[in-house]
Amino acid sequence: MTDRSLVTGGAGFIGSHLVDRLVAMGHQVVVLDNLSTGRWENLAQVMGEVELVEGDIRDTELCRKVSRGCRAVFHQAALGSVPRSIEDPATTHEVNATGTVNMLRAAREEGVERFVFASSSSVYGDTPVLPKVESMRPLPLSPYASSKLACEAYCMAFAAVYGLGVVSLRYFNVFGPRQSPQGPYAAVIPRFFERLSEGRPVVIYGDGNQTRDFTFVENAVSANILAAERASEVSGQVFNVATASRVSINTLYREIAALFEVDCPPEYLPARPGDVLHSQADISLAERMLSYQPKVGLQEGLRRIREGWR
């Protein structure tokens, strides 16, 4: 594969794990991050081995500059969170959709061969059919989901019109170390860990029977590497990145509470707008065309987080 790679959002949760893997593989790595949610501390273990650039994907000239000399771009940078997108759809669109077009343009103009885009399972919306298959009609329920779907469409267009080797990966609830529990938009697993580690009750929106396909971060990193390796063969395609299993939020709570050996009954609040009820992926396409295999399941992933919890 390439010897020089760019990771946008590389100081963030998934991006920093991807940087770790690329460095271990012997790549020269450039990291672009505006530090709105990422932290350089996430890259402490490879500091000095990677080139760090603080900046924003809305800066078109900077996008070109950091893409120069790279053969692969792993585009992880985004403004996440369904609730945040509902509060501020314009900024979500500006960062996610326009920022992705900026990166695609930069990649094309600078001769990048392989471009892997981090999409989201949220594009499927709340269709009752399970598991979710890539060929299903997307039904986004939030501005965040809509922005990710728009990005996928741009990726397909750049593959078709410009011949750029582009692959989109639909992440299903990725979790793991370095995922922040802070702020109103934090993901459920780090929030549960933080509250239960302090002996406080967790907050569950809805009745807790909603289900998710939780995917350990190492699985997502492997999917990115495989997608980049095969980008020319599968250019323009979209793949689910998940474990093909699902668990309820109530069960997730019980699993994490058992790790801390605490018994704090959850506090239930009304369901949030834009949240889907059930999510589970069909990963057969990724298995067949990318040779993707999830190696770490939910319980093992939770155990690893617990071992490293402060």
Q: How many domains does the chain have?
A: 1
- Positions of the chain with pLDDT lower than 70, given as ranges: 1-2, 183-185
Q: pLDDT at position 51, please?
A: 98
Distance CA 118, CA 76 (A): 5
Q: pLDDT at position 184, please?
A: 66
Whether 299 maps to a domain, the answer reads: no
Distance CA 296, CA 279 (A): 18
Whether 185 maps to a domain, the answer reads: no
- Coil vs helix vs strand at 130: coil
Assign residue 120 the CATH number of its domain: 3.40.50.720
Q: pLDDT at position 264, please?
A: 86
Whether 303 maps to a domain, the answer reads: no
Candidates 185, 218, 221; CA nearest to 5 is: 221
Distances (CA, A) of 293 to 59, 124, 140, 231, 234: 36, 22, 27, 17, 17
Q: pLDDT at position 111, please?
A: 97
Q: pLDDT at position 87, please?
A: 94
Distance CA 196, CA 260 (A): 7
Whether 252 maps to a domain, the answer reads: no
Distance CA 273, CA 121 (A): 16
Whether 208 maps to a domain, the answer reads: no
> Is residue 240 packed enough to be buried (19+ CB in 10 Å), middle (13-18) or exposed (0-12)?
buried
Residue range(s) defining the domain that contains residue 133: 4-174+217-242+281-294
Kindly give, in sequence order, each residue whose CB lies less than 8 Å from that of residue 61, ignoring residues fewer than 6 positions away. none
Instruction: Write the pLDDT tens digit of every residue in 34-67.
Output: 999 999 999 999 999 999 999 999 999 999 999 9
Distance CA 303, CA 41 (A): 22
Whether 98 maps to a domain, the answer reads: yes
pTM for the full predicted model: 0.95
Distance CA 194, CA 181 (A): 7
Whether 113 maps to a domain, the answer reads: yes
Whether 261 maps to a domain, the answer reads: no
Instruction: Write the pLDDT tens digit of every residue in 262-307.
Output: 888 999 999 988 778 899 999 999 999 999 999 999 999 999 999 9
Q: pLDDT at position 2, please?
A: 46
